[in-house]
Amino acid sequence: MTGLPVWICDRLALFAAPRKSLWSRAVRCGRIGPEVPMTDQIHDPIAAAFALQAAGTVARRTGFGLAERKAALIRLREVLGRRQPEIVAALAADFGKPETETLLTEILPVRQDIALALRRMRRWMRPRRVAPTVATLGTSARIRPEPRGVCLIVAPWNYPLNLALGPLVSCLAAGNSAIIKPSEMTPATSALIAAIVAEAFSPDLVTVIEGGVEVSQALLALPFDHIFFTGSPEVGKVVMAAAARHLTSVTLELGGKSPTVIGPGADVAQAAAWVAFGKFANAGQTCIAPDHVYVHHDVREAFLQALRARIAKAYGDGASPHLARVVNDRHAGRLRALLADARDKGARIVLGGDGEGTRLAPTLVEAVTPEMRLDQEEIFGPVLPVIAYDDLDAVIARINARPKPLALYVFDKDRGFADRIIGATSSGGVGVNLTLLHYSHHGLPFGGVNNSGIGAAHGEFGFRAFSHERAVLENRFSALTMVFPPYTGRVRGLVRMALRLLG
């Protein structure tokens, strides 16, 4: 790294060695592949890419203003438009995602992010005035949103374009640079993201680094100013532990077993349509997909009948061109193992359960019990347990007994029914008589709570996630000098008076 500033070289040297123990935990839980030893050939280009962006941090504070940020987002929008057919082809190659689903769930959200940022960025960037308190009368207060610096965006495989470039829009709107690490499990899309970024940006502003676990290790060993990670809770803990070494701030969008509750007053046709869409879009490989459904006994049969009909209309069998594939053989094998375990322990597969290779038909399972893996693990595939209930309090207790989910869905015509569940539980977000759609409302914060995530994204919330909100207090005619030392009798009297009046 000859020619780099000395302070950057010193900083990199401190953090070059990976922490293998952190990654070994994720390896043991099966979320990532076996650990690969670090090599100079892998590490040097990564360190150099980081150093290039770090060297421009100070200049970006004053030289990457509103006009430059807008220009960057417009370039990204233009490249996305030109390469839209390639995006559709890449996602079809990686896991058979239908073109319409790619347009709806991968390209449209990013373009919405860009459009919103272009409209609102000026207001987001403007310092916010804050009224003085009684103790600070005579001062002027404001909050300045400032760039954090060099950011790392670690994207998952399930929505590889959306969840790489969506956070990038917020990152650039806030004035930062970014290194993007796409998932190696979707290689065609990963390579295309690298090409899109290379066409739209210079590497001192945005660059993509592809690779597997060893690349992630090298990146997490560096002192980024912010890390935005989307993935499983298990790997999220690894990322957070690595970030703690540098006291790096994090946004973690994770997952969990998001429950759905169908009440006795639900419109079962509406509920079936939304549950089928939320569960089987992207073959169930969605972090906010309904993981399991609690359905009241009074409407169980009607709901199952409506759900079967909706699945037949939307997807036919497991070879439907409207249904994406499971991402790879390992994940398909994991899903089949979950079904086999449930079947062996007494569960009933009432629809689906078949398919070859990475094709798995939409599957409904009843008689699921707590000792089954299907009830314990995040499913993340086109398999939906349907659990009948009579006692809503028991359902609420089961929801609260699990880690807090990323989403919770309630279906019932009675608003009080939904409010009762919302008030008694905790989750990242809630959908009432719908699924997934809250992700698309950029006026709402999107994020989890505890096990399902830390921080929020989208719209202004994403801008703030990538910003440091700096407090500035300016003296105009503060009277606080009246109580400066020495603490004479007059000063002590003024302080006692302030305590009586203000305290």
Q: What is the pLDDT of residues 43-93, one digit of tens each?
A: 589 999 999 999 999 999 999 999 999 999 999 999 999 999 999 999 999
Per-residue pLDDT at 9 exceeds 90 = no
Mean pLDDT of the region 123-135: 95
Starting at the earlier edge strand, list the strands of the sheet with 259-262: 348-351, 363-366, 383-389, 292-296, 259-262, 407-411, 429-432
Per-residue pLDDT at 425 exceeds 70 = yes
pLDDT number for residue 23: 38
Per-residue pLDDT at 12 exceeds 90 = no
Q: What is the pLDDT of residues 300-341, one digit of tens each?
A: 999 999 999 999 999 986 578 999 999 999 999 999 999 999
Question: What pTM did the predictor assign?
Answer: 0.90
Give yes or no: residues 231 and 374 share one domain. no
The amino acid that residue 147 corresponds to is P
Computed over every residue of the chain, the mean pLDDT equals 91
For residue 486, cis peptide bond before it (omega within 30 degrees of 0): yes
CA separation for the pair 474, 472 (Å, rounded): 7
End-to-end CA distance of the chain: 58
CA separation for the pair 346, 412 (Å, rounded): 30
Task: Please enumerate in sequence order all residues whose Cβ is within 8 A of that of 227, keeping only pairs 6 or more positions apart, or say none.
Answer: 151, 152, 154, 220, 239, 243, 248, 249, 250, 251
Distance of CA 296 to the CA centre of its chain: 31
Give yes or no: residues 40 and 83 share one domain. yes
Mean pLDDT of the region 137-142: 96
pLDDT number for residue 318: 58
CA separation for the pair 131, 114 (Å, rounded): 32
Mean pLDDT of the region 296-303: 98
Is 108 part of any domain? yes
Name 260's bridge partners: 293, 409
pLDDT band, very low/low/confident/very high, at 481 (cuts 50, 70, 90): very high
Residue 229 sits in a domain of what CATH number? 3.40.605.10
CA separation for the pair 438, 310 (Å, rounded): 22
When comparing pLDDT for 83 and 502, which is higher?
83
Is 485 part of any domain? no
Mean pLDDT of the region 343-362: 94
* Residues 256 and 288 sit within 8 Å (Cβ to Cβ): no
pLDDT band, very low/low/confident/very high, at 14 (cuts 50, 70, 90): very low
Give yes or no: residues 237 and 267 share one domain. no
Residue 303 sits in a domain of what CATH number? 3.40.309.10
Where helices occur in 355-502 by DSSP H, the ranges are 373-376, 392-401, 415-424, 459-465, 489-502
CA separation for the pair 495, 491 (Å, rounded): 6
Give yes or no: residues 264 and 340 share one domain. yes
28-32, 44-48, 177-181: which has the highest mean pLDDT? 177-181
pLDDT number for residue 42: 56
Give yes or no: residues 363 and 250 share one domain. no
Give yes or no: residues 350 and 383 share one domain. yes
Per-residue pLDDT at 24 exceeds 80 = no
When comparing pLDDT for 43 and 104, which is higher?
104
When comparing pLDDT for 2 and 495, which is higher?
495
* Residues 316 and 461 sit within 8 Å (Cβ to Cβ): no
Give yes or no: residues 31 and 165 share one domain. yes
Starting at the earlier edge strand, list the strands of the sheet with 226-230: 206-208, 177-181, 150-154, 226-230, 249-253, 453-454
Where helices occur in 56-107 by DSSP H, the ranges are 57-63, 66-82, 84-95, 99-102
User: Which tokens belong to 204?
Assistant: 């001192």
One of 101, 151, 214, 287 is an active-site residue; which one?
Answer: 287
pLDDT number for residue 317: 66
460 is catalytic: no
SS3 379: coil
pLDDT band, very low/low/confident/very high, at 28 (cuts 50, 70, 90): very low
Per-residue pLDDT at 283 exceeds 50 = yes
When comparing pLDDT for 215 and 42, which is higher?
215
248 half-sphere exposure, CB direction, 13 A CA radius? 27
Helix, strand, coil % over all residues of the chain, rounded to 5: 50, 15, 35
Is 394 part of any domain? yes
Which DSSP string do the residues of 227-242 spell out, in sequence order? EEEES-HHHHHHHHHH
Is 493 part of any domain? no
Is 86 part of any domain? yes
Give yes or no: residues 35 and 108 share one domain. yes
The percentage of residues in the chain with a pLDDT greater than 90, rounded to a whole number, is 88
pLDDT number for residue 291: 98
Q: What is the pLDDT of residues 427-455, one digit of tens each?
A: 999 999 999 999 999 999 999 999 999 99
Q: Is the dihedral of CA 356, 360, 364, 370 positive or negative?
A: positive
Helix (H) or strand (E) holding 14: helix 6-14
DSSP assignment letter at 446: B
Is 474 part of any domain? no
Q: Which domain holds residue 427?
A: 259-441
253 is catalytic: yes
* Residues 449 and 404 sit within 8 Å (Cβ to Cβ): yes
Is 40 part of any domain? yes
CA separation for the pair 296, 266 (Å, rounded): 9
When comparing pLDDT for 190 and 3, which is higher?
190
DSSP assignment letter at 298: G
Give yes or no: residues 147 and 32 share one domain. yes
Task: Please enumerate in sequence order all residues whose Cβ is within 8 A of that of 300, keeping only pairs 6 or more positions apart, or say none.
Answer: 386, 388
User: Which tokens belong to 103?
Assistant: 């347009």
Give yes or no: residues 24 and 122 share one domain. yes
CA separation for the pair 73, 166 (Å, rounded): 11
pLDDT number for residue 21: 38
Mean pLDDT of the region 136-143: 96
Give yes or no: residues 400 and 461 share one domain. no
For the chain, the domain total comes to: 2
pLDDT band, very low/low/confident/very high, at 30 (cuts 50, 70, 90): very low
* Residues 137 and 164 sit within 8 Å (Cβ to Cβ): no
One of 101, 253, 378, 460 is an active-site residue; which one?
Answer: 253
* 405, burial (CB in 10 Å: exposed 0-12, middle 13-18, buried 19+): buried
* Residues 286 and 436 sit within 8 Å (Cβ to Cβ): yes
Give yes or no: residues 215 and 311 share one domain. no
Neighbours of 11 (CB within 10 A): 18
Is 186 part of any domain? yes
